[in-house]
Amino acid sequence: MDLKDEVQRVRFWINQIGNFWLRLVWHSVHLLVRFWYLGVGVANVIESYLISSGLLKRYRSIDVGKLRYLAIVIESDDACRISKVIQLLQWLQAIGVKHLCLYDTEGVLKKSKESILAKLKNATLFEVASSICRVMVPLFFTLLPFRLQEADERDSLLDQKHMTLEFASISDGKEAVAKGGNVLFMKYSKLANSGAEQKEQIFTEANMTEALRAVGCGGPEPDLLLVYGPARCHLGFPAWRIRYTEIVHMGPLKSVRYGSLVKAIYKFTIVRQNYGT
């Protein structure tokens, strides 16, 4: 019994020592990671300050013409910080951005669009489609070729001199998909009722894109999408509008900085982009 007790006691102390060293290694790694992110954060703050003060020459001139359409995705809790949103938009106006879309999941920004527009100079509301078009198009455009709706929205915006704002939420995406699916259903059910011979129909991305354009829900495709919030994703921004969009996570809106905004736009403008056919 005494030998058995001694063996159990030795095993107990071995387990205790092993657990101690594992915890020590874990906490050491955790501490190193925290110091790393702290150092990165301090470096970003210093760089942002240098950019804002104009000490870094390469950020003084930005070819904003390459950024034809910008999208800002804001987490819904951060979207309630309307003063921060307005400050962000004023900075974008100062940089020279002309056309952008503000998106949050719950539509907080859409509800506050009047107060936001009132705080901005020379800013107007951009509507993808008129309300009449939203009602009549699903019935009317099923009788016409979808190609009639393939105008390039971004090119039509280039002649405007003031800032245009589009407000969107996740409900817009759901509504658009429902309308687009209805257009496709009406088109192919009509063909089926006509008795014409049809092959097995498989809906492709191109078919859905054409249907979304037909119902006026295509919208311009942003060149750059900036995400403000804890999540590193587009938070439900319409996927068919960001096929070739550069996505950058900017962190929480409460810590938004002018320098980091300039840096993100500058890095986009200096990258050469090749689009396939």
The partner residues of 247 in beta bridges, in order of sequence, read 225
Q: Give me the pLDDT at residue 130, please.
A: 39
CA 73 to each of CA 94, 99, 222, 231: distance values in angstroms, whole numbers, following the listed order: 20, 14, 11, 11
Give the CATH number for residue 184.
3.40.1180.10
- Chain segment 114-133, per-residue pLDDT in tens: 999 998 888 888 865 433 33
On whether both 260 and 208 belong to a single domain, the answer is yes
On whether both 136 and 168 belong to a single domain, the answer is yes
Please tell me what DSSP assigns to residue 244: T
Q: Are 111 and 102 in contact (CB under 8 A)?
A: no
Report how many domains make up the chain: 2
List the structure tokens of 163: 């800032």
Phi, psi of 196 (to 5 degrees): -70, 145
Give the confidence band of 69 by pLDDT, cuts at 50, 70, 90. Answer: very high
Helix, strand and coil content of the chain, in percent to the nearest 5, comes to 60, 10, 30
Whether the per-residue pLDDT at 65 is higher than 50: the answer is yes
Q: Is 127 exposed, middle or buried (0-12, 13-18, 19+ CB in 10 A)?
A: middle
On whether both 94 and 198 belong to a single domain, the answer is yes
On whether both 29 and 96 belong to a single domain, the answer is no
Q: Give me the pLDDT at residue 140, please.
A: 36
Count H helices, E strands: the chain? 10, 6
The partner residues of 164 in beta bridges, in order of sequence, read 99, 124
On whether both 139 and 243 belong to a single domain, the answer is yes
On whether both 246 and 201 belong to a single domain, the answer is yes
Q: Give me the pLDDT at residue 141, please.
A: 39
Q: Are 253 and 88 in contact (CB under 8 A)?
A: yes
CA distance 87 to 68: 21
On whether both 76 and 31 belong to a single domain, the answer is no
Give the confidence band of 248 by pLDDT, cuts at 50, 70, 90. Answer: very high
Which residues constitute the domain of residue 52?
Answer: 1-60
On whether both 77 and 39 belong to a single domain, the answer is no
Q: Give me the pLDDT at residue 148, please.
A: 37
- Chain segment 6-61, per-residue pLDDT in tens: 778 888 888 889 898 999 999 999 999 999 989 988 988 898 899 888 888 888 88
| Count of beta carbons in the 10 Å neighbourhood of residue 215 | 24
SS3 call for 124: strand
Domain boundary among 35, 60, 85: 60
Average model confidence (pLDDT) for the chain? 79
**Between β-strands 99-103 and 123-125, what pairing exists: parallel, antiparallel or unpaired?**
unpaired
On whether both 39 and 86 belong to a single domain, the answer is no
Give the confidence band of 143 by pLDDT, cuts at 50, 70, 90. Answer: very low
On whether both 143 and 36 belong to a single domain, the answer is no
